Amino acid sequence: MSVDILDASAWREYRGRPSSPGINETTHLAKIADKSGRLRDCFVKLMAPGTPALLCEALGWLLARAAGVQCPEFAAIILVPVPELRRHGPLPAAFDQAALTPAWCSEIVAGKSVRQVHKMSFVLARAACLRSKDARKIASFDQWSDLRDRNFGNVIQSSKGGYVAIDHETLLHDLLWAPSGTTWTEHSLLEHARKALKSSDFQRFQLDMAAAAKGHEQALETAQKSIDEIIVKLLPAHALELGAAVKGALRERSAPGWMSDKLKVIS
C-alpha cells in the first residue's frame, strides 16, 4: 500500500467542474492514467503552496484504508500541467508562475454525498447515515487522526452500499496545521450525532466509536512504512523528524482507552 506520484502525462483529459466543488476553487474532474495505464475518472484539486494539505490527503488515505474506513479505491499525487488546466478557466494567483503543480486526485465514488440529497429528504438521509456502522467508524477515525472538517459533503452514500469518506485535507490539525498559522473550525459526525440523535442513540454512537478505535493501533502499524515513504518523497529534508512526530501523535491517540476517555464512555 503506497501513494503513487504520477507525472504530468497521467493527466489525460479535463472533464469539467463538479456540481459541489467545496472550498477549493481548483477542484475539477479529469481522466487520470494510473501507473498501469488504466484510465480513471477522478476529482483533482491543486494544493496551495506552503500548506500541509497534500501530505494530509496522502496520510489520510493511507490511514483510512489501514483502519478499514471506506474510501476511494484509487488515489495519487499528480503533477498537473497548469497552462493546460488554465485553458478551461481561471486559477488562483498562487499558480500564476507554475508550469507544473502537485495535486491530489482520487477516484470518483459512484453515489452522492449525503449533503447532495434533495433538501426535503436530507433529514432522513442524515439520520440514515448516522445510524450506519460506517458513520461511527468514520467518526472514530476522524477523532483519532485529528481531522477537523468532516461534514455531510465529504461523506458519500455509495451506490454499492455504505458510506465512503473523502477529503482528508484537515488531518492532524494540531500537529500540522496549527503551527503553519492556519486553524479550522471543527465539524464532525460526532457533533452532528450529538445534535440529531436521542440520548440513548447518541450513547450507542459513542460506544461504537470507542469499539472502532480498538483497531487504530494495528492500523498505524500497518500504515507506518507507507507513512515514512510518502513523507520522504514530499519533505525529504524534514522526513526523520516529521515522520517521528506524525507516528508519535497517532500512537498516543491510538493507546487503549484514549478514545473512551475522550468521549467519556466506558467501553
pLDDT digits (tens, 9 = 90+) for 39-49: 999 999 999 88
pLDDT tens readout for residues 36-83: 999 999 999 999 888 999 999 999 999 999 999 999 999 999 999 999
CATH 3.30.200 fits 4-107, yes or no: yes
What is the residue-averaged pLDDT of the chain?
94
Residue 145 pLDDT greater than 70, yes or no = yes
> Domain residues of the chain, as ranges?
4-107, 111-263
Give ∠ CA 21-22-27 in degrees, rounded to 5: 45
C-alpha span between 55 and 64 (Å, rounded): 14
Report the 10 Å Cβ neighbour count for 100. Answer: 14
- Rounded to an integer, the average pLDDT of 228-257 is 97
Whole-model pTM? Answer: 0.95
Architecture of the domain delimited by 111-263:
Orthogonal Bundle (1.10)
Residue 10 pLDDT greater than 90, yes or no = yes
